[in-house]
Amino acid sequence: MGQKIGIGMLGAGNVGGGVVNALPKLKDRYFDLTNNELELLKVLVRDINKKRLGLSNSQLTSEIDEVISDKRIQIVIEVLGNEQPACEYIKKCLEAGKYVVTANKEVMAKHGAELLEVAHKNNVAIFFEASVGGGIPIIGPLMRDFGANKLTSVTAIINGTTNFILTKMSEGDISFEKALSEAQSLGYAEPDPSSDVEGIDAAYKLAILCSLAFGFDVDPYSIDRQGIRSVAEQDFRYAHDLGYTIKLLSTARLMDESISVSVKPTLINLNKPLAKVDGVLNAIQIEGDLIDQVMFVGPGAGSQPTASAVLADVLELVRNHLDRGSYSVSRGSLKSMSVQSKSNVQSRYYLRLIVQDQVGVLAEIAQSLGNQGVSIASMIQSGEFSVGDTVELVLTTHLAHESAILSAIEHVKKINAVQEVGNIFPIDGVEEV
Protein backbone atom coordinates (compact mmCIF):
# COMPACT_ATOMS: atom_id res chain seq x y z
CA MET A 1 0.00 0.00 0.00
CA GLY A 2 1.31 3.39 -0.93
CA GLN A 3 1.54 6.55 1.12
CA LYS A 4 1.00 10.24 0.71
CA ILE A 5 4.18 12.16 -0.13
CA GLY A 6 3.92 15.71 1.19
CA ILE A 7 5.38 18.47 -0.98
CA GLY A 8 6.22 22.06 -0.14
CA MET A 9 7.01 24.67 -2.75
CA LEU A 10 8.95 27.93 -2.45
CA GLY A 11 7.60 30.40 -4.99
CA ALA A 12 4.48 30.51 -7.16
CA GLY A 13 5.58 32.44 -10.25
CA ASN A 14 5.65 31.16 -13.82
CA VAL A 15 7.48 27.91 -13.05
CA GLY A 16 5.61 27.37 -9.78
CA GLY A 17 2.35 27.94 -11.60
CA GLY A 18 3.41 25.34 -14.17
CA VAL A 19 4.03 22.82 -11.39
CA VAL A 20 0.65 23.57 -9.77
CA ASN A 21 -1.15 23.12 -13.10
CA ALA A 22 0.66 19.88 -13.94
CA LEU A 23 0.34 18.07 -10.62
CA PRO A 24 -3.42 17.23 -10.81
CA LYS A 25 -3.02 15.96 -14.37
CA LEU A 26 -0.17 13.70 -13.29
CA LYS A 27 -1.85 12.37 -10.15
CA ASP A 28 -2.92 9.01 -11.57
CA ARG A 29 0.26 8.54 -13.64
CA TYR A 30 2.48 9.18 -10.61
CA PHE A 31 0.47 6.76 -8.50
CA ASP A 32 0.82 4.07 -11.16
CA LEU A 33 4.58 4.63 -11.30
CA THR A 34 5.32 5.00 -7.60
CA ASN A 35 2.32 3.56 -5.73
CA ASN A 36 2.34 6.85 -3.81
CA GLU A 37 0.14 9.92 -3.88
CA LEU A 38 1.74 13.36 -4.19
CA GLU A 39 0.12 16.12 -2.15
CA LEU A 40 1.06 19.82 -2.37
CA LEU A 41 0.70 20.97 1.24
CA LYS A 42 2.38 24.39 1.52
CA VAL A 43 3.44 27.06 -0.96
CA LEU A 44 5.62 29.97 0.15
CA VAL A 45 4.56 33.30 -1.38
CA ARG A 46 5.13 36.98 -0.64
CA ASP A 47 1.44 37.89 -0.55
CA ILE A 48 -0.95 35.27 0.84
CA ASN A 49 -3.95 37.47 0.01
CA LYS A 50 -3.29 37.31 -3.74
CA LYS A 51 -5.56 34.82 -5.50
CA ARG A 52 -3.62 32.07 -7.24
CA LEU A 53 -5.16 29.65 -9.68
CA GLY A 54 -5.16 26.09 -8.40
CA LEU A 55 -4.14 26.98 -4.83
CA SER A 56 -6.34 27.36 -1.75
CA ASN A 57 -5.74 29.87 1.03
CA SER A 58 -4.86 27.02 3.39
CA GLN A 59 -1.95 26.01 1.14
CA LEU A 60 -0.38 29.48 1.10
CA THR A 61 2.12 30.80 3.60
CA SER A 62 4.51 33.73 3.82
CA GLU A 63 6.69 32.07 6.48
CA ILE A 64 9.48 29.66 5.51
CA ASP A 65 9.33 28.08 8.98
CA GLU A 66 5.85 26.72 8.21
CA VAL A 67 7.37 24.71 5.39
CA ILE A 68 10.45 23.62 7.33
CA SER A 69 8.57 22.60 10.49
CA ASP A 70 5.80 20.67 8.73
CA LYS A 71 6.69 17.02 9.34
CA ARG A 72 4.36 15.89 6.56
CA ILE A 73 6.51 17.64 3.92
CA GLN A 74 9.24 15.33 2.63
CA ILE A 75 10.14 17.13 -0.62
CA VAL A 76 10.56 20.87 -1.13
CA ILE A 77 10.48 22.40 -4.64
CA GLU A 78 12.38 25.69 -4.87
CA VAL A 79 11.35 27.98 -7.76
CA LEU A 80 11.97 31.39 -6.20
CA GLY A 81 14.83 32.37 -8.49
CA ASN A 82 17.80 34.63 -7.61
CA GLU A 83 20.51 33.76 -5.13
CA GLN A 84 18.91 34.91 -1.88
CA PRO A 85 16.88 34.07 0.06
CA ALA A 86 16.63 30.92 -2.08
CA CYS A 87 20.05 29.56 -1.08
CA GLU A 88 19.39 30.14 2.62
CA TYR A 89 15.98 28.47 2.41
CA ILE A 90 17.34 25.44 0.50
CA LYS A 91 20.05 24.96 3.12
CA LYS A 92 17.51 25.13 5.96
CA CYS A 93 15.27 22.57 4.24
CA LEU A 94 18.18 20.16 3.76
CA GLU A 95 19.26 20.60 7.37
CA ALA A 96 15.69 19.77 8.41
CA GLY A 97 15.97 16.44 6.59
CA LYS A 98 13.90 17.37 3.56
CA TYR A 99 14.77 16.48 -0.02
CA VAL A 100 15.02 19.47 -2.33
CA VAL A 101 14.31 19.93 -6.04
CA THR A 102 15.46 23.28 -7.44
CA ALA A 103 15.41 25.09 -10.78
CA ASN A 104 17.83 27.74 -9.51
CA LYS A 105 20.91 27.94 -11.74
CA GLU A 106 22.49 30.85 -9.85
CA VAL A 107 22.33 29.06 -6.52
CA MET A 108 23.67 25.78 -7.91
CA ALA A 109 26.45 27.52 -9.86
CA LYS A 110 27.65 29.49 -6.84
CA HIS A 111 26.80 27.20 -3.93
CA GLY A 112 26.25 23.76 -5.46
CA ALA A 113 29.26 22.10 -3.80
CA GLU A 114 28.25 23.44 -0.37
CA LEU A 115 24.61 22.38 -0.72
CA LEU A 116 25.57 18.90 -1.91
CA GLU A 117 27.70 18.52 1.21
CA VAL A 118 24.84 19.73 3.43
CA ALA A 119 22.51 17.22 1.77
CA HIS A 120 25.01 14.41 2.30
CA LYS A 121 25.50 15.27 6.00
CA ASN A 122 21.75 15.18 6.55
CA ASN A 123 21.22 11.97 4.56
CA VAL A 124 19.00 13.60 1.95
CA ALA A 125 19.55 14.86 -1.59
CA ILE A 126 19.21 17.91 -3.80
CA PHE A 127 18.14 17.48 -7.43
CA PHE A 128 18.47 20.24 -10.02
CA GLU A 129 17.57 18.97 -13.50
CA ALA A 130 15.60 22.17 -14.22
CA SER A 131 18.58 24.45 -13.53
CA VAL A 132 20.09 23.84 -17.00
CA GLY A 133 18.35 23.41 -20.31
CA GLY A 134 14.73 23.72 -19.14
CA GLY A 135 12.95 20.63 -20.42
CA ILE A 136 16.11 19.00 -21.82
CA PRO A 137 17.12 15.96 -19.70
CA ILE A 138 20.83 16.65 -19.28
CA ILE A 139 21.58 16.59 -15.54
CA GLY A 140 20.31 13.03 -15.14
CA PRO A 141 22.35 11.64 -18.06
CA LEU A 142 25.47 13.37 -16.77
CA MET A 143 24.89 11.92 -13.29
CA ARG A 144 24.13 8.39 -14.39
CA ASP A 145 24.18 7.43 -18.07
CA PHE A 146 27.66 8.70 -18.99
CA GLY A 147 29.33 7.21 -15.93
CA ALA A 148 31.44 4.82 -18.03
CA ASN A 149 32.89 7.71 -20.05
CA LYS A 150 35.69 10.14 -19.52
CA LEU A 151 33.95 13.27 -20.74
CA THR A 152 36.21 15.78 -22.46
CA SER A 153 34.06 18.66 -23.66
CA VAL A 154 30.72 20.40 -23.40
CA THR A 155 29.53 22.70 -26.21
CA ALA A 156 26.15 24.28 -25.70
CA ILE A 157 23.53 26.86 -26.59
CA ILE A 158 21.93 27.26 -23.17
CA ASN A 159 20.11 30.57 -23.18
CA GLY A 160 16.84 30.67 -25.10
CA THR A 161 16.53 34.47 -25.00
CA THR A 162 19.84 35.13 -26.72
CA ASN A 163 19.27 32.32 -29.19
CA PHE A 164 15.91 33.83 -30.15
CA ILE A 165 17.49 37.29 -30.60
CA LEU A 166 20.37 35.98 -32.73
CA THR A 167 18.00 33.83 -34.81
CA LYS A 168 15.82 36.87 -35.54
CA MET A 169 18.89 38.91 -36.52
CA SER A 170 20.08 36.10 -38.77
CA GLU A 171 16.74 35.61 -40.51
CA GLY A 172 15.51 39.18 -40.75
CA ASP A 173 18.62 41.32 -41.17
CA ILE A 174 17.48 43.45 -38.21
CA SER A 175 19.32 45.16 -35.38
CA PHE A 176 19.97 43.77 -31.93
CA GLU A 177 17.64 46.39 -30.43
CA LYS A 178 14.71 45.39 -32.67
CA ALA A 179 15.24 41.68 -32.04
CA LEU A 180 15.44 42.30 -28.29
CA SER A 181 12.23 44.34 -28.37
CA GLU A 182 10.43 41.48 -30.10
CA ALA A 183 11.79 38.99 -27.55
CA GLN A 184 10.48 41.20 -24.74
CA SER A 185 7.06 41.61 -26.37
CA LEU A 186 6.74 37.81 -26.61
CA GLY A 187 7.83 37.29 -23.01
CA TYR A 188 11.14 35.62 -23.91
CA ALA A 189 13.22 38.46 -22.46
CA GLU A 190 12.86 40.30 -19.17
CA PRO A 191 12.41 44.09 -19.01
CA ASP A 192 16.04 44.10 -17.80
CA PRO A 193 17.65 41.49 -20.08
CA SER A 194 21.21 41.94 -18.77
CA SER A 195 21.60 38.48 -17.27
CA ASP A 196 20.72 36.91 -20.62
CA VAL A 197 22.33 39.21 -23.18
CA GLU A 198 25.55 39.68 -21.17
CA GLY A 199 26.03 35.89 -20.96
CA ILE A 200 25.67 35.74 -17.15
CA ASP A 201 22.82 33.22 -17.21
CA ALA A 202 24.76 30.98 -19.61
CA ALA A 203 27.88 31.19 -17.42
CA TYR A 204 25.91 29.95 -14.39
CA LYS A 205 24.58 27.00 -16.39
CA LEU A 206 28.00 26.19 -17.84
CA ALA A 207 29.52 26.10 -14.35
CA ILE A 208 26.88 23.53 -13.33
CA LEU A 209 27.56 21.41 -16.42
CA CYS A 210 31.30 21.49 -15.67
CA SER A 211 30.72 20.20 -12.15
CA LEU A 212 28.73 17.25 -13.45
CA ALA A 213 30.71 16.47 -16.60
CA PHE A 214 34.17 16.79 -15.10
CA GLY A 215 33.67 16.74 -11.31
CA PHE A 216 35.25 20.18 -10.91
CA ASP A 217 33.95 23.19 -9.04
CA VAL A 218 34.20 26.06 -11.55
CA ASP A 219 33.62 29.61 -10.35
CA PRO A 220 31.09 31.14 -12.81
CA TYR A 221 32.89 34.49 -12.48
CA SER A 222 36.12 32.92 -13.79
CA ILE A 223 34.45 32.02 -17.10
CA ASP A 224 35.65 34.09 -20.07
CA ARG A 225 32.40 35.83 -20.99
CA GLN A 226 31.25 38.12 -23.82
CA GLY A 227 27.63 39.10 -24.39
CA ILE A 228 25.72 39.71 -27.61
CA ARG A 229 24.93 43.46 -27.41
CA SER A 230 27.69 44.30 -29.90
CA VAL A 231 26.56 41.81 -32.55
CA ALA A 232 25.38 43.81 -35.59
CA GLU A 233 23.22 42.86 -38.55
CA GLN A 234 26.23 43.15 -40.92
CA ASP A 235 28.08 40.55 -38.83
CA PHE A 236 25.44 38.03 -39.87
CA ARG A 237 25.70 39.18 -43.49
CA TYR A 238 29.45 38.61 -43.51
CA ALA A 239 29.19 35.37 -41.51
CA HIS A 240 26.70 33.93 -44.01
CA ASP A 241 28.98 34.95 -46.91
CA LEU A 242 31.74 32.97 -45.20
CA GLY A 243 29.48 29.94 -44.59
CA TYR A 244 28.70 30.55 -40.91
CA THR A 245 26.04 31.77 -38.52
CA ILE A 246 26.49 33.32 -35.07
CA LYS A 247 25.40 31.74 -31.78
CA LEU A 248 26.11 32.52 -28.13
CA LEU A 249 28.19 29.41 -27.54
CA SER A 250 29.11 28.03 -24.11
CA THR A 251 32.18 25.79 -24.28
CA ALA A 252 34.18 23.79 -21.79
CA ARG A 253 37.16 21.59 -22.61
CA LEU A 254 38.98 19.41 -20.12
CA MET A 255 42.78 19.66 -20.20
CA ASP A 256 45.38 17.71 -18.27
CA GLU A 257 45.54 20.08 -15.32
CA SER A 258 43.04 22.81 -16.17
CA ILE A 259 39.81 23.54 -17.94
CA SER A 260 39.06 25.96 -20.77
CA VAL A 261 35.64 27.63 -20.33
CA SER A 262 33.99 30.47 -22.21
CA VAL A 263 30.65 32.01 -23.16
CA LYS A 264 30.98 34.03 -26.37
CA PRO A 265 29.27 34.87 -29.66
CA THR A 266 30.85 32.35 -32.01
CA LEU A 267 30.78 31.70 -35.73
CA ILE A 268 29.50 28.17 -36.38
CA ASN A 269 29.66 26.44 -39.76
CA LEU A 270 26.18 26.36 -41.33
CA ASN A 271 26.50 22.61 -41.91
CA LYS A 272 26.98 21.78 -38.23
CA PRO A 273 23.97 20.64 -36.13
CA LEU A 274 24.42 23.45 -33.58
CA ALA A 275 24.01 26.03 -36.37
CA LYS A 276 20.50 24.72 -36.98
CA VAL A 277 19.33 25.16 -33.36
CA ASP A 278 17.12 28.25 -33.68
CA GLY A 279 14.58 30.29 -31.76
CA VAL A 280 14.23 29.56 -28.04
CA LEU A 281 15.59 26.02 -28.38
CA ASN A 282 18.65 24.96 -26.40
CA ALA A 283 21.24 22.36 -27.35
CA ILE A 284 23.95 20.64 -25.34
CA GLN A 285 26.66 18.58 -27.05
CA ILE A 286 28.72 16.19 -24.93
CA GLU A 287 31.94 14.46 -26.01
CA GLY A 288 33.40 11.42 -24.30
CA ASP A 289 35.87 8.63 -24.98
CA LEU A 290 33.20 5.92 -25.47
CA ILE A 291 30.18 7.86 -26.72
CA ASP A 292 32.15 10.11 -29.09
CA GLN A 293 29.53 12.87 -29.49
CA VAL A 294 25.95 13.14 -28.21
CA MET A 295 23.65 16.15 -28.56
CA PHE A 296 20.47 17.00 -26.62
CA VAL A 297 18.04 19.52 -28.15
CA GLY A 298 14.81 20.92 -26.73
CA PRO A 299 13.01 23.86 -25.14
CA GLY A 300 15.36 25.63 -22.79
CA ALA A 301 12.92 27.80 -20.87
CA GLY A 302 9.25 28.43 -20.17
CA SER A 303 6.93 27.35 -17.39
CA GLN A 304 5.91 24.01 -18.89
CA PRO A 305 9.35 22.68 -19.95
CA THR A 306 10.86 23.76 -16.63
CA ALA A 307 7.94 22.28 -14.68
CA SER A 308 8.51 19.06 -16.62
CA ALA A 309 12.12 18.91 -15.41
CA VAL A 310 11.12 19.77 -11.83
CA LEU A 311 8.46 17.07 -11.67
CA ALA A 312 10.78 14.53 -13.30
CA ASP A 313 13.17 15.10 -10.38
CA VAL A 314 10.29 14.68 -7.92
CA LEU A 315 9.35 11.41 -9.59
CA GLU A 316 12.96 10.21 -9.50
CA LEU A 317 13.15 10.98 -5.78
CA VAL A 318 9.91 9.20 -4.95
CA ARG A 319 10.71 6.14 -7.08
CA ASN A 320 14.32 5.56 -6.20
CA HIS A 321 15.69 7.68 -3.37
CA LEU A 322 13.13 8.76 -0.81
CA ASP A 323 13.91 7.20 2.56
CA ARG A 324 17.06 5.65 1.13
CA GLY A 325 19.52 8.31 2.09
CA SER A 326 21.65 10.75 0.16
CA TYR A 327 22.40 10.50 -3.50
CA SER A 328 25.66 11.68 -5.01
CA VAL A 329 25.06 13.81 -8.09
CA SER A 330 28.69 14.07 -9.15
CA ARG A 331 31.59 11.76 -9.73
CA GLY A 332 32.92 12.02 -6.27
CA SER A 333 33.49 15.22 -4.32
CA LEU A 334 33.84 18.34 -6.42
CA LYS A 335 37.48 19.37 -6.80
CA SER A 336 38.89 22.80 -7.53
CA MET A 337 40.24 23.27 -11.04
CA SER A 338 42.17 26.17 -12.50
CA VAL A 339 40.72 27.88 -15.55
CA GLN A 340 42.93 27.89 -18.62
CA SER A 341 44.59 31.21 -19.34
CA LYS A 342 43.99 32.99 -22.63
CA SER A 343 47.62 32.48 -23.55
CA ASN A 344 46.96 28.75 -24.07
CA VAL A 345 43.56 28.92 -25.76
CA GLN A 346 43.53 28.83 -29.54
CA SER A 347 40.86 29.42 -32.14
CA ARG A 348 40.35 30.91 -35.56
CA TYR A 349 38.89 34.41 -35.39
CA TYR A 350 36.54 36.76 -37.21
CA LEU A 351 37.55 40.45 -37.16
CA ARG A 352 35.47 43.38 -38.44
CA LEU A 353 37.21 46.73 -38.91
CA ILE A 354 36.27 50.13 -40.36
CA VAL A 355 39.22 51.60 -42.26
CA GLN A 356 40.06 54.44 -44.62
CA ASP A 357 39.66 53.40 -48.25
CA GLN A 358 43.27 53.88 -49.28
CA VAL A 359 46.21 51.91 -50.65
CA GLY A 360 48.38 50.01 -48.18
CA VAL A 361 45.91 49.69 -45.31
CA LEU A 362 45.54 45.92 -45.58
CA ALA A 363 49.32 45.49 -45.72
CA GLU A 364 49.71 47.52 -42.50
CA ILE A 365 47.04 45.49 -40.76
CA ALA A 366 48.53 42.21 -41.96
CA GLN A 367 51.94 43.25 -40.65
CA SER A 368 50.53 44.22 -37.23
CA LEU A 369 48.78 40.87 -36.99
CA GLY A 370 51.78 38.95 -38.28
CA ASN A 371 54.11 40.56 -35.74
CA GLN A 372 51.98 38.91 -33.03
CA GLY A 373 51.91 35.52 -34.75
CA VAL A 374 48.46 35.95 -36.33
CA SER A 375 48.00 35.17 -40.04
CA ILE A 376 45.05 36.14 -42.27
CA ALA A 377 43.01 33.32 -43.82
CA SER A 378 40.43 35.34 -45.81
CA MET A 379 39.24 38.91 -46.39
CA ILE A 380 35.98 40.67 -47.35
CA GLN A 381 35.85 44.39 -48.19
CA SER A 382 32.54 46.24 -48.33
CA GLY A 383 31.38 49.84 -48.43
CA GLU A 384 27.71 48.98 -47.79
CA PHE A 385 27.78 49.75 -44.08
CA SER A 386 30.46 52.46 -44.17
CA VAL A 387 30.34 56.26 -44.13
CA GLY A 388 32.29 58.68 -46.36
CA ASP A 389 35.62 57.41 -47.60
CA THR A 390 35.70 54.42 -45.26
CA VAL A 391 35.06 50.74 -45.93
CA GLU A 392 34.40 47.75 -43.72
CA LEU A 393 37.11 45.14 -43.73
CA VAL A 394 36.32 41.65 -42.49
CA LEU A 395 39.19 39.26 -41.83
CA THR A 396 39.30 35.66 -40.70
CA THR A 397 42.47 34.27 -39.20
CA HIS A 398 44.21 30.96 -39.06
CA LEU A 399 44.52 29.26 -35.68
CA ALA A 400 45.92 31.73 -33.15
CA HIS A 401 46.23 32.19 -29.40
CA GLU A 402 43.57 34.50 -27.98
CA SER A 403 46.22 36.52 -26.16
CA ALA A 404 48.02 37.06 -29.49
CA ILE A 405 44.77 38.24 -31.13
CA LEU A 406 44.10 40.73 -28.34
CA SER A 407 47.66 42.03 -28.45
CA ALA A 408 47.53 42.34 -32.26
CA ILE A 409 44.29 44.32 -32.09
CA GLU A 410 45.91 46.86 -29.77
CA HIS A 411 48.58 47.42 -32.44
CA VAL A 412 45.95 47.59 -35.20
CA LYS A 413 44.10 50.33 -33.31
CA LYS A 414 47.21 52.52 -33.56
CA ILE A 415 47.19 52.47 -37.37
CA ASN A 416 46.03 55.91 -38.57
CA ALA A 417 43.82 54.49 -41.32
CA VAL A 418 41.90 52.25 -38.88
CA GLN A 419 38.81 54.17 -37.76
CA GLU A 420 37.17 51.51 -35.62
CA VAL A 421 37.62 47.93 -34.47
CA GLY A 422 34.14 46.39 -34.60
CA ASN A 423 33.73 42.82 -33.43
CA ILE A 424 36.13 39.99 -32.65
CA PHE A 425 34.50 36.55 -32.48
CA PRO A 426 35.97 33.04 -32.32
CA ILE A 427 35.13 30.64 -35.14
CA ASP A 428 33.87 27.13 -34.39
CA GLY A 429 34.63 27.23 -30.68
CA VAL A 430 38.00 26.90 -29.01
CA GLU A 431 40.93 24.55 -29.07
CA GLU A 432 43.89 24.19 -26.76
CA VAL A 433 47.46 23.26 -27.63
Predicted pLDDT of residue 2: 62
Same domain, 72 and 185: no
127 and 152 together in one domain: no
Q: Are residues 155 and 285 in the same domain?
A: yes
The model's confidence at residue 234, banded by pLDDT at 50, 70 and 90, is very high
In a domain, 273, yes or no: yes
Q: Is 41 part of a structural domain of the chain?
A: yes
From 105, 110, 205, 247, active-site residue: 205
Inside any domain, residue 336: no
Rg of the Cα atoms in the chain: 24
Same domain, 155 and 262: yes
| Average pLDDT over every residue of 88-111 | 94
- Per-residue exposure over 140-174, b if at least 16 CB sit within 10 Å of its own CB, e if not: bbbbeebeebebebbbbbbbbbbbbbbbbbbeeeb
Answer yes or no: is pLDDT of 22 > 70.
yes
* Whether residue 251 is found in the same domain as residue 355: no
The answer, yes or no, to whether residue 51 has pLDDT greater than 90, is no
CATH code, domain with 245: 3.30.360.10
Sign of the Cα pseudo-torsion (359, 361, 363, 364, in order): positive
Quick one: 10 and 75 in the same domain?
yes
Question: What domain range is 308 assigned to?
Answer: 4-134+303-329
Same domain, 316 and 348: no
Q: What is the CATH number of the domain that holds 33?
A: 3.40.50.720
Q: Which residues of 402-431 are buried (b: 16+ CB within 10 A; e: fewer)?
A: bbbbebbbebbeebebbbeebbbbbbbbbe
CA angle 119, 121, 125 (to 5 degrees): 25
Q: What is the pLDDT of residues 178-223, one digit of tens each?
A: 999 999 998 888 889 999 999 999 999 999 999 888 888 888 998 9
Residue 334 lies inside a defined structural domain of this protein = no
Task: Out of 126-130, 146-150, 276-280, 427-431, pick the least confident.
Answer: 427-431
pLDDT computed for residue 384 by the predictor: 66
Q: Is residue 364 part of a domain?
A: yes
| Residue 146 shares a structural domain with residue 279 | yes
Q: Are residues 175 and 266 in the same domain?
A: yes
Structure confidence at residue 36 as a pLDDT band (50, 70, 90): confident
Q: How confident is the model at residue 274 (pLDDT cuts 50, 70, 90)?
A: very high
Query: How confident is the model over 69-94, as pLDDT tens digits?
Result: 999 999 999 999 889 999 999 999 99
Output DSSP code: residue 222: G
Which residue has better confidence, 35 or 180? 180
Q: What is the pLDDT of residue 142?
A: 87
Give the type of residue at 371.
Answer: N
User: What CA–CA distance (Å, rounded) separates 335 from 211?
Assistant: 9
The pLDDT of residue 215: 82
Split at pLDDT 50, 70, 90, the class of 331 is very low
Asked if the structure places residue 335 within a domain, the reply is no
For this structure, is 413 an active site residue?
Answer: no
Instruction: Between 271 and 24, name the one with better pLDDT.
Output: 271
330 has pLDDT over 50:
no
Question: Does residue 61 carry a pLDDT above 50?
Answer: yes
Rounded Cα–Cα distance for residues 61 and 46 (Å) = 8
For residue 256, pLDDT beyond 90: no
- What average pLDDT is seen over the chain? 87
Domain count, the chain: 3
Is it the case that residue 60 has pLDDT exceeding 60? yes
In a domain, 266, yes or no: yes
pTM of the complete model: 0.88
Distances (CA, A) of 199 to 196, 206, 263, 349: 5, 10, 6, 19
Is 394 found in the same domain as 246? no
- Same domain? For 286 and 146 the reply is yes
- Does residue 128 lie within any of the structural domains? yes
Give the pairing type, strands 99-102 and 73-78: parallel
Pairing of the two strands 4-10 and 73-78: parallel
How large is the average pLDDT for residues 320-335? 52
Per-residue model confidence (pLDDT) at position 329: 47
Same domain? For 148 and 264 the reply is yes
Q: pLDDT tens, 337-393?
A: 556 555 567 899 999 999 998 888 999 999 999 999 999 999 998 866 656 688 999
